[in-house]
Structure formats: structure tokens, C-alpha cells
Amino acid sequence: MKNLIEISKELLQSEQVKVVIGYAKGSANRVRPLFARDAAECEKLLFDARCVQNLAVYLYKREIAAMGKPAIVANIPTLRAILRLCAEKQLQEESLIAIACNNDNEAVVLKNMTEIEAFVQSQVIALSDKDRELLEKIKAMPQAERWAFWQKEFNKCIKCYACRQTCPLCYCTECTVEKNKPQWITVASTKLGNLEWHTMRTMHLAGRCISCGQCAEACPMNIPLHLLPMMLAEEIREIYGTMPGLHRDENCALSTYKPNDQENFIH
């Protein structure tokens, strides 16, 4: 991204923001998040194809919020997460500045939610071919095979909750899985506990997931668990015609309704 470092320095020096959240070189050809608080630190900022982590997850963390107003280096899923968080009243109109990458690989400064909204809507948003192929493959399986497939995948789960921690939309300070009076979902990674955890996670993201795929990216056991909320997001787009993360004041598909919603299974 051209001008990323210059723009970041300028934002910090003019005191428009107190911290720039972005990506920097990590170990073994990977990138890691960077929280640049002065111009010198901005030199480390970079943005390329490896920068897929959804940095919106840091925006509501107490330690980050305590630093002051942030600027955030944002890819499209990050911008969509920001809009969704705004719709859920977790962020305000001018609580951050986003530095996005336009089609000419130039850094663009988006000063408020209105500008972010306009930028996101000007972009083409589609599932990757790989994800679509996998979705279609699973959908085409017979029922017993689908069950076996997901059981095999879920049995790998070690309940580390990395999927939850990396998700920008899993921001509850107290999660149901940590409640133990009563114990709703077992703590140990049992077959039932895993099935229930993934069901619950997916249902809580239904209509909210912006399909960034970071849950699967973070999964140490390589479970393709991003397909679950992604599949629901596709379904919601088809049935209700809505997509989360495109407007700063949208409703979640599951917290609203139309009296003439169609279904074919209730008799």
C-alpha cells in the first residue's frame, strides 16, 4: 500500500489519533499486529497479501481503548466488521480512523463511519472460490456423510476458543461457555461439548458474521469452522436479501422480521 507509512505518521503527528493499529513483520515470513504510538514505530508498518487478520478485534479491547483514538489499517473484512460493530452500538460514528487500500494500491483515509460505508459499498464482495467449492461439496453429500464429516472435524476441537478470541464480532465480556450455574456446555472437549459449542457459536453469529474466515485461520486444529457461519450468511442473503457489514445502521437478520417471511417447513 503506497503512502501507508507517511499517512500514519501524519495522523500521529497531527494528534488526530493516538495509536495506529496495523501489521508489521513477524517471525517466519508471517505478519503480526503492530500498535504504533509514535512516528518511528510507523516505519515498521506494512500491508500485503499476508495481512488477513481482522484487526477490528482489538478496537473494543480495554487496553487499546485506553490508548486513545485509534487509526486502523483495514482490509475489506475489517471494514465490514467495523460497520457491523457500529450497527451493534459497539463503536461510534467518529470513534476511529480507518486506513484502507483502494484498487490502485493507495492508502485512503476514512475519517468516519459514513466514509467507511461508502468505501465498502464501492467494493466487490464475494466468497473465495475455494470456500464456495467446499460449501458446495459438503452440501452435496448425503446426510450420513455430512454427519460423519462434521463429527470427524469437531472431534479435533480442543476447545481453546481461539475461534472466539479472533472473531471481531464475539465481543461479549462473559461468554455462555464460561457460565457454570448451570453448566450449559461442558468445559471438556467431549464430542457433545464440541458439537454444542460449534452450534452455539454459529447461531450466535447468524446474520452477523461478515465471513472474514479468521476463525478457521486461527484454529490450531485446522477445522474448517468458518464454513458454518459462512453458509448461514449465504442462506440469509438468499432468503432475506441482507448482508451484514455494509451499513452502519443495519439490523441483524435474526433480530428483525417481516410478517410475510417465507418458509416451507412449518405446517
> What distance in Å separates the CA atoms of residue 247 and residue 82, rounded to the nearest whole number?
10
Q: Which stretch binds other proteins (CB under 8 A): 74-82, 101-109, 159-167, 228-236?
A: 228-236
151 scored as a contact of other proteins (CB under 8 A)? yes
143 scored as a contact of other proteins (CB under 8 A)? yes
Q: 103 CB contacts (<8 Å, ≥6 apart)?
A: none
Q: Which stretch binds other proteins (CB under 8 A): 23-31, 83-91, 197-205, 216-224?
A: 197-205
254 scored as a contact of other proteins (CB under 8 A)? yes
- Sheet with 97-101: list strands edge to edge: 31-36, 19-25, 70-74, 97-101, 107-110
- Least CB distance to other proteins at residue 147 (A): 3
CA distances to 90, 133, 159, 186, 190 from 154, rounded to whole Å, are 31, 20, 10, 14, 9
- Least CB distance to other proteins at residue 191 (A): 5
236 scored as a contact of other proteins (CB under 8 A)? yes
> What distance in Å separates the CA atoms of residue 11 and residue 244, rounded to the nearest whole number?
29
DSSP letter, residue 105: S
- Least CB distance to other proteins at residue 150 (A): 5
Binding site for other proteins (CB under 8 A): 138-139, 141, 143-151, 184, 190-192, 195-196, 199-200, 202-203, 206-207, 228, 231-232, 235-236, 239-240, 253-255, 257-259, 261, 263, 265-267
